[in-house]
Structure 1
Amino acid sequence: MAQRVLVVGASVGGAIAAITLRGLGVETVMLEKELVKAKPCGGAIPPVAFTEFDLPQRLIDRKIKYCLMVSPSGQETIVPVAGSVPSDDDYVAMVRREIFDGFLRERAQRRGADLIHGQLLGLEVNHAGVTARYRSMANGQEQTIQAAAVIGADGCYSPTARMLGLPQMPRAVAIQERIALPEAQMARWAETADLYLGSEVSPDLYAWAFPKCDHIALGIGAGPRYTAHAKRLLSNLKTRLGPAITGGQLLLREAHALPMEPRKHMAFERAMLVGDAAGLVVHTSGEGIYWAMKSGQLAAQTLAHFLDVPSAANLRTYERIWWQEYGLMYNFLRWLQWWGYGNERQMEVFTEMCRNADVQRLTFDSYMYKQMAPAPWLVQMRMTKDIIMAQVRNYLQRRTPVRERLGLAEVS
């Protein structure tokens, strides 16, 4: 069997896996169904991704220096994007996936990875290797490819995972519109990204307004219970924004699914899953781009090391390293989503909590460097005091939600 690796999916996770494999001298083939339309996405990336993966700054549309949190009642908290030690990397990068993904895919090809424009139809994995059937998007013909192993980087609905016999994951939905605005209105978001909380825009996640080069991306995320209401939630967000987007021109409406939980296992005999296919989207923020890239890199490094004996036991080294490194962060963000988005009073508390300077510092230390920032006991006590006071304020007296002033229907 050929000592090549098949990477199904050539978006960020798949492209990084291919780049990593080629850097280790492994013959690599990427199979990608869609080469024109990019995955719908908010497009927020931490600066550490640009240094870790040697990415050019020209891929960045805007550098976000402030985050505006807006509670269900309209309370606003402006959070500066800054860690404990000021640096030039105090920002959140906003990118367009069609530009970002295309760059990574082309880099993989320049490094020697082959790219097949095709749709995976079947996958057979046995002790001898991997045989994949695919349909060529160029001529519609069915063809086969053989490899020593396969990496599934093919998203939340992962055909690779399905063909390995794995169950579907619980999914959230995100729907987004790209709206072109006059320069004067875009100035409102020159260095600021907005997050909106409230059951009329997202009962269990959040809504956003993220600026790109020449337009604003407005979107909502909603868990499995609310996917049928996604269009209404997005419409309510646009009503909440009101004059800020009046006169804007709709460029595109797009939607996609997000995995809600990581898979129990991400590696099997001769097969591995990365990114959304492995369920590696973090709670609270829904961030997935960096984690797809990092998991693609780690999976590729592990596979290259064990390519002569790609057993499940060997390839699950990838899982062990991953959860040793990032398990604490994933578990904390799962808890934070449950605590902060559980109901609208908690959303008010969450918004007020973000005014605490220690919370701001710890949040962006963790976000920008992808390590849980330590909190000394005195800092923990200060944060706990502010949180308790916010709990008392918001549970003793209900704040009037914005939707009641605007006449919007609550989604429940």
Structure 2
Amino acid sequence: MPQRVLIVGASVGGATAAITLRGMGIETVLLEKELHKPKPCGGAVPPAAFREFDIPTSLIDRKVTICRLVSPSGQEASVPVAGTNPTEHDYVAMVRREVFDGFLRERAQQRGAELIHGQLNGLEVGASGVRATYRSMSDGREQTIHADVVIGADGAYSPTARLLGLPPLPRAIAIQERIALPPEAMREWQDTATIFLGRELSPDLYSWAFPKHDHLAIGIGTGPAHSKQAKQLLENLKQRLAPKLAGGRLLLREAYALPMQPQKYLAFDRAMLVGDAAGLVTHTSGEGIYWAMKSGQLAAQVLSQYLDAPTAANLRNYDRLWWQQYGTMYTFLRGLQKWGYGNERQMEVFTEMCRNPDVQRLTFDSYMHKTMAPAPWAVQMKMTWDILRSQVRNYVRPRTPLREQ
């Protein structure tokens, strides 16, 4: 039997892994449970993804050029999406996952990957290979597939990780509604993504309003400690935005989970994890699409070198390369989330910080190019001084939250 890779999950991470493997002539099978229901997601993608993965920009619903941050007291920071050297490619791309994922999945099939509509039920990893059992979604029958290696790209609740014996990761919960607005109401949002901070909207993350093709996506995210409040938090957001949603029509309500920390290891004997299954979602923003694609690509590239000896020791070159390249960014964003979203006074400080032109420039340099943008010593000192002044101001004379005004 030729060398074969089974990828569980055919969303962005799994599809990108399959495209990469097929580009190297490796036999690849994609196993996906849900081919028709759209994957719930905020849907923000950096321009880098379209360049690096050769994706047509026709898949973009909206190009966001302004990010607006609203604090618990209602103060706003309007942040232009522009780096140090502005270009026509400075934007946040908004996509619908049913369109974006479908394109990548179809590309994988065009490159020769086999797509199976089924649900993973069992997984055995042995010295000679991997044996997976799945339930066919077409006839309900249990089937078996044999492979040399398995890649888990099956989301925050990853059956692959569970069947490998890994503990579940702590997860944030997000609920989002898609609301079709009249054209005149939609104009306000057409190039602007808005982030809302505050305990009544999200005690530890944020809520949002993102423009899409023909609708506005509004949603909330919150960590494990507040997940039972998620529906009420969404209702609070809808009440806050009620005047701007007048005349709107609900298209869809959807919920999803985001892992709050990475797995200790990303690779094992004859097995690898990518994207949400590996816990590779960045803190502060909750961004996951680009990282799923990038991890799928890197895992496939490493695997291609070790298909003859897919041991944990060899495949963990994927772990090492990933954290060498992106570890600093993940650590920084994890700390920024704890600092900026810790309480409502910190949320006010965070909002004021985002008004700083140097912070804005460095933020989008890092976001659009996926590297930690360096800041000169003088710039670092000025930003630190501004933040310290904001800390003192907001703790000595705290602002009044909107709900108490």
> TM-score band, normalised by the shorter chain?
over 0.9
- Tell me by how many angstroms 1:190 deviates: 1.4
Q: Note if contact 1:204-1:342 (Cα within 8 Å) is conserved in structure 2.
A: yes
The equivalent of 1:409 in structure 2 is none
- Paired residues for 1:375-394 under 5 Å: 375-394=375-394
Q: Note if contact 1:2-1:147 (Cα within 8 Å) is conserved in structure 2.
A: no
* Distance in 1 of aligned mates of 2:6 and 2:190: 41
- Tell me by how many angstroms 1:382 deviates: 1.1
Deviations along 1:1-57, one digit per CA (max 9) or x if unpaired, are 541100000000000000000001100000000000122000000000000000001
Deviations along 1:338-367, one digit per CA (max 9) or x if unpaired, are 110000000000000000000000000000
The equivalent of 2:52 in structure 1 is 52
SS in 2 for 1:35: coil
Q: Which amino acid aligns with 2:394?
A: N
- Tell me by how many angstroms 1:404 deviates: 2.0
Q: Note if contact 1:40-1:254 (Cα within 8 Å) is conserved in structure 2.
A: yes
The equivalent of 2:251 in structure 1 is 251
The equivalent of 1:193 in structure 2 is 193
Deviations along 1:41-94, one digit per CA (max 9) or x if unpaired, are 000000000000000011000000000000000001100000000111110000
- Tell me by how many angstroms 1:394 deviates: 0.7
SS in 2 for 1:39: coil
Q: Note if contact 1:44-1:93 (Cα within 8 Å) is conserved in structure 2.
A: yes
* Distance in 1 of aligned mates of 2:255 and 2:22: 33
Does 1:103 pair with 2:103?
yes
The equivalent of 1:113 in structure 2 is 113
Name stretches of at least 5 consecutive residues in structure 1 with no aligned partner: 406-412
* Distance in 2 of aligned mates of 1:247 and 1:392: 43
Q: Note if contact 1:64-1:192 (Cα within 8 Å) is conserved in structure 2.
A: yes
The equivalent of 1:343 in structure 2 is 343
SS in 1 for 2:156: coil
The equivalent of 1:174 in structure 2 is 174
Q: Which amino acid aligns with 1:154?
A: D
SS in 1 for 2:251: strand
* Distance in 2 of aligned mates of 1:98 and 1:213: 12
The equivalent of 2:319 in structure 1 is 319
- Tell me by how many angstroms 1:242 deviates: 2.6
* Distance in 1 of aligned mates of 2:341 and 2:64: 24
Q: Note if contact 1:176-1:220 (Cα within 8 Å) is conserved in structure 2.
A: yes
**TM-score (structure 1 length as normaliser):** 0.98
The equivalent of 1:141 in structure 2 is 141
* Distance in 1 of aligned mates of 2:202 and 2:273: 29
* Distance in 2 of aligned mates of 1:68 and 1:377: 28
SS in 1 for 2:373: coil
Q: Which amino acid aligns with 1:65?
A: T
The equivalent of 1:299 in structure 2 is 299
The equivalent of 1:9 in structure 2 is 9
* Distance in 1 of aligned mates of 2:220 and 2:304: 39
- Paired residue total: 405
SS in 1 for 2:167: coil
- Tell me by how many angstroms 1:378 deviates: 0.4
* Distance in 2 of aligned mates of 1:141 and 1:57: 40
Q: Which amino acid aligns with 2:213?
A: C
Q: Which region of structure 1 is more displaced relative to structure 2, 181-190 or 239-248? A: 239-248
SS in 1 for 2:320: helix
Q: Which amino acid aligns with 1:283?
A: H
SS in 2 for 1:133: strand
* Distance in 1 of aligned mates of 2:52 and 2:173: 29
* Distance in 2 of aligned mates of 1:275 and 1:98: 17
Q: Which amino acid aligns with 1:16?
A: T
* Distance in 1 of aligned mates of 2:245 and 2:378: 43
- Tell me by how many angstroms 1:403 deviates: 1.7
Q: Which amino acid aligns with 2:375?
A: A
Q: Note if contact 1:205-1:341 (Cα within 8 Å) is conserved in structure 2.
A: yes
* Distance in 2 of aligned mates of 1:382 and 1:358: 9
* Distance in 2 of aligned mates of 1:378 and 1:143: 63
Identity of aligned residues (%): 73
SS in 2 for 1:119: strand
* Distance in 2 of aligned mates of 1:141 and 1:338: 47
* Distance in 1 of aligned mates of 2:391 and 2:57: 42
SS in 1 for 2:29: strand
Q: Note if contact 1:173-1:258 (Cα within 8 Å) is conserved in structure 2.
A: yes
**TM-score (structure 2 length as normaliser):** 0.99
Q: Which amino acid aligns with 1:105?
A: R
The equivalent of 1:43 in structure 2 is 43
SS in 2 for 1:255: strand
Name stretches of at least 5 consecutive residues in structure 2 with no aligned partner: none
Q: Note if contact 1:68-1:78 (Cα within 8 Å) is conserved in structure 2.
A: yes
* Distance in 2 of aligned mates of 1:231 and 1:10: 29
Q: Note if contact 1:18-1:113 (Cα within 8 Å) is conserved in structure 2.
A: yes
* Distance in 2 of aligned mates of 1:174 and 1:180: 20
Q: Which amino acid aligns with 1:172?
A: A
Q: Which amino acid aligns with 1:140?
A: G
* Distance in 2 of aligned mates of 1:318 and 1:26: 18
Q: Which amino acid aligns with 1:360?
A: Q
Q: Which amino acid aligns with 1:397?
A: R
* Distance in 2 of aligned mates of 1:166 and 1:128: 21
* Distance in 2 of aligned mates of 1:76 and 1:240: 15
* Distance in 2 of aligned mates of 1:176 and 1:312: 38
Q: Note if contact 1:2-1:148 (Cα within 8 Å) is conserved in structure 2.
A: no
* Distance in 2 of aligned mates of 1:173 and 1:12: 20
- Tell me by how many angstroms 1:381 deviates: 1.1
* Distance in 2 of aligned mates of 1:221 and 1:8: 26
- Tell me by how many angstroms 1:236 deviates: 0.5
- Paired residues for 1:125-274 under 5 Å: 125-274=125-274
